[in-house]
């Protein structure tokens, strides 16, 4: 039976709380009510696929390392585990298209709300160790990652083939993971092997990884070219003709926060203490602070941030505000990074609707 018929019931069973956008290329996101945990459970984690889910033979899986290396190699999953140190780290995985539905005018692409993000514990081996074993040649500047999934209706084309600049490929946080939240990496999340590139957009976290080819140029695989997963260097206005030379690959994700309580449509009694909780995170530049507003952004109060599980985990905030005058009521959170980067009140529009880190507005009402 083709995957597209079998995977949806599987997803419905494994992740009943997810809203499914597309079935052929399985894409689904959780309601924000499911994202209240510091470690996002697998059954609440969003799913993003650019093509069909591939047929996987976990037992015979191999990872080939070739290209600009002195010693090409073919590893089994067990071989990787035995040869290299195992590392566990906690990191946010966010789709670059998360929040795309908030852009105006609307852009092409899946109209994600705010739930295409989660934070998990990833266990695997360092990509740096595998590359060191292979011996990169001096000309190697970029990795190219390959997986067997194919585009819908174009079985000859890879669904996605992304890569990393060498500096990120050999960074200590970049892993080839085989476990998520202490369990073998689920097939829906790229099992048996996927890239974990903390701080980088989800598109860089190649699932079902079976080959890494070192290249002497920026990788130009599927979804690496044109405007795919790229942002304009100079601002582009809606409707303006696009020059691909004005676009650069998205690397580190911008600072961002997510309010998981209260939820849109909340009702509070005047004078009631209302819980405001959520998470904040950022890419290369560390997170510094989060401020809350309950007066439409006129005034902001810094909130305490709980320690996260390491540099690339999200950090929780959990505070209370007093519900004011009866009527409509908006709660906002705004995160700031250590270099002064701050979430904008309005998103910076771009043609493909990436990296929307605008301040979230949770709308409810106060009653007497």
Ligand X SMILES: Nc1nc2c(c(=O)[nH]1)N[C@H]1C(S)=C(S)[C@@H](COP(=O)(O)O)O[C@H]1N2
Among 63, 77, 95, 193, binds ligand X (CB under 6 A): 95
At 304, give phi and psi (nearest 5°): -70, 140
Smallest CA-to-CA distance from 29 within 98, 96, 93, 90 is with: 98
Among 47, 141, 231, 291, binds ligand X (CB under 6 A): 47
Q: Which two tokens stand for residue 236?
A: 């582009």
Please give the residues from 129 up to 148 whose contact with ligand X meets the rule CB under 6 A.
Answer: 147
- Please say which residue, 151 or 270, places its beta carbon nearer to ligand X: 151
Q: Is 112 in the site for ligand X (CB under 6 A)?
A: no
**Rounded distance, CA 232 to CA 218, Å?**
17
Q: Which residue is nearest to ligand X (CB)?
A: 202
Q: Is the peptide bond before 192 cis (omega within 30 degrees of 0)?
A: yes
Q: Is 49 in the site for ligand X (CB under 6 A)?
A: yes
**Rounded distance, CA 145 to CA 65, Å?**
10
Q: Is 44 in the site for Mo ion (CB under 5 A)?
A: no
**Rounded distance, CA 245 to CA 226, Å?**
8
Residue 297 DSSP SS3: coil
**Rounded distance, CA 69 to CA 84, Å?**
18
**Rounded distance, CA 312 to CA 332, Å?**
23
Q: Is 254 in the site for Mo ion (CB under 5 A)?
A: no
Please give the residues from 176 up to 195 whose contact with ligand X meets the rule CB under 6 A.
Answer: 189-190
Q: Is 202 in the site for Mo ion (CB under 5 A)?
A: yes
Among 123, 143, 206, 343, binds ligand X (CB under 6 A): 206
Is the distance from CB of 357 to CB of 344 less than 8 angstroms?
yes
Beta strands in 191-326 (DSSP E): 194-196, 211-215, 230-232, 247-249, 256-261, 267-269, 273-281, 287-293, 301-303, 315-322
* Strand-pair partners of 88: 123
Supply the minimum distance, in Å, between the C-beta of residue 91 and Mo ion. Answer: 15
Among 29, 32, 48, 352, binds ligand X (CB under 6 A): 48
Q: Is the peptide bond before 105 cis (omega within 30 degrees of 0)?
A: yes
Residue that is written with structure tokens 């960074």 in the block: 171
**Rounded distance, CA 218 to CA 54, Å?**
26
Supply the minimum distance, in Å, between the C-beta of residue 67 and ligand X. Answer: 18
Q: Tell me which stretch binds ligand X (CB under 6 A): 14-22, 48-56, 306-314, 356-364.
A: 48-56
Q: Is 61 in the site for ligand X (CB under 6 A)?
A: no
Vertex 74, ends 81 and 69: CA angle to 5°? 110
Supply the minimum distance, in Å, between the C-beta of residue 112 and ligand X. Answer: 9
Q: Is 146 in the site for Mo ion (CB under 5 A)?
A: no
Q: Which residue is nearest to Mo ion (CB)?
A: 95
Please give the residues from 313 up to 342 whose contact with ligand X meets the rule CB under 6 A.
Answer: none
Please give the residues from 85 up to 124 whose contact with Mo ion meets the rule CB under 5 A.
Answer: 95
Q: Is 208 in the site for ligand X (CB under 6 A)?
A: yes
Binding mask 261-280 for Mo ion (x = CB under 5 A): --------------------
By a kind-dependent CB cut-off of 5 to 8 A, residue 227 interacts, out of ligand X, Mo ion, none, with none
Q: Is 48 in the site for Mo ion (CB under 5 A)?
A: yes
Catalog residues that contact ligand X under the rule CB under 6 A. 45-51, 93, 95, 147, 149, 159-160, 189-190, 202-203, 205-208
Residue ranges that bind Mo ion, judged by CB under 5 A = 48, 95, 202-203
């Amino acid at each position: 039976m083709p995957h597209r018929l079998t995977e949806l019931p599987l997803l419905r069973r494994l992740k009943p709380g997810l809203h499914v956008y597309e079935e052929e290329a399985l894409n689904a996101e959780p309601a924000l009510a499911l994202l209240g945990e510091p470690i996002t459970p697998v059954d609440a984690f969003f799913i993003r696929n650019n093509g069909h889910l591939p047929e996987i033979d976990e037992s015979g899986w191999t990872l080939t390392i070739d290209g600009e290396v002195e010693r090409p190699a073919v590893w089994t999953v067990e071989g990787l585990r035995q040869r290299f140190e195992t590392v566990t780290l906690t990191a946010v995985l966010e789709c670059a298209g998360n929040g795309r539905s908030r852009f105006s005018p609307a852009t092409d692409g899946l109209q994600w709300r705010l739930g295409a993000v989660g934070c998990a514990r990833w266990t695997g081996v360092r990509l740096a160790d595998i590359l060191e074993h292979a011996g990169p040649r001096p000309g190697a500047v970029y990795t190219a990652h390959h997986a067997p999934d194919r585009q819908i209706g174009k079985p000859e084309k890879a669904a996605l083939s992304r890569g990393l600049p060498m500096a990120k490929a050999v960074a200590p946080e970049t892993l080839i993971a085989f476990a998520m939240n202490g369990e073998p990496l689920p097939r829906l999340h790229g099992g048996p092997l996927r890239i974990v590139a903390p701080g980088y957009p989800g598109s860089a976290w190649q699932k079902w990884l079976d080959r890494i080819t070192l290249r002497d140029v920026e990788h130009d695989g599927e979804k690496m070219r044109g405007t795919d997963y790229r942002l304009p260097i100079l601002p582009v206005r809606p409707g303006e003709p696009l020059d691909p030379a004005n676009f650069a690959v998205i690397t580190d994700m911008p600072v961002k926060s997510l309010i998981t309580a209260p939820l849109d449509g909340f009702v509070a009694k005047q004078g009631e203490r209302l819980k405001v909780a959520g998470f904040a995170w950022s890419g290369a530049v560390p997170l510094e602070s989060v401020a809350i507003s309950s007066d439409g952004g006129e005034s902001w109060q810094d909130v305490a941030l709980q320690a996260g599980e390491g540099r690339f985990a999200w950090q929780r905030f959990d505070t209370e505000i007093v519900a004011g005058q009866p009527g409509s009521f908006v709660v906002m959170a705004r995160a700031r990074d250590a270099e002064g980067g701050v979430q904008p009140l309005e998103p910076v529009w771009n043609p493909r609707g990436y990296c929307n880190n605008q301040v979230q507005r949770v709308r409810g009402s106060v009653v007497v």
